[in-house]
Amino acid sequence: MSFEKKKVTVNDQTFLTLVNKGLSEEDVIKQAQEIKKLQPEMMEWRIDYFKDVVLMNRLLEVADKVKAIMDKTPILITFRSKKFGGKTELDSEDAYLNLVKIAIDFKLGNAIDIEHDHVSDRIAGLIQDAKAKELGVVLS
């Protein structure tokens, strides 16, 4: 299994990151296990690939399993909108912003990627929320 590799800067620190693009819970878990063996500095979980991304209970359940697998390896949570090359489109701006808020509030990972091309006052609030929860922030 080969994974997309990229360098990601979170709060002025750069990490060599492997990307998990699992479609189902089984895929996400399997990829997390494989990525963990490769010992990256960080794993990016592209939740826009996860088919149950809009089912909050499923997302939280799978996130807990991924965190347990990755242990001390930091996890960057990314939902990329279709217009920025993502896999899933949410039905509104609010849906995207609310999903990011859930990812922050429930600490799905150690860092959150926030698309800056959204309502600026809401983005500013999300960044503040993430920092208050001691999460790293990537603006894309």
Per-residue pLDDT of 34-89, as tens digits, reads 999 999 999 999 999 999 999 999 999 999 999 999 999 999 999 999 888 899 98
User: Dihedral of the CA atoms 52, 127, 108, 30 (nearest 10)?
Assistant: 70
Residue indicated by tokens 């949410």: 90
Taking alpha carbons only, the member of 60, 46, 58, 50 closest to residue 8 is 46
Domain that holds residue 94: 5-139
How many structural domains compose the chain? 1
Q: Round to whole Å and give the CA distance between 128 and 31.
A: 31
pTM: 0.96
**What pLDDT shows up at residue 119?**
75
Question: What CATH number does residue 62 fall under?
Answer: 3.20.20.70
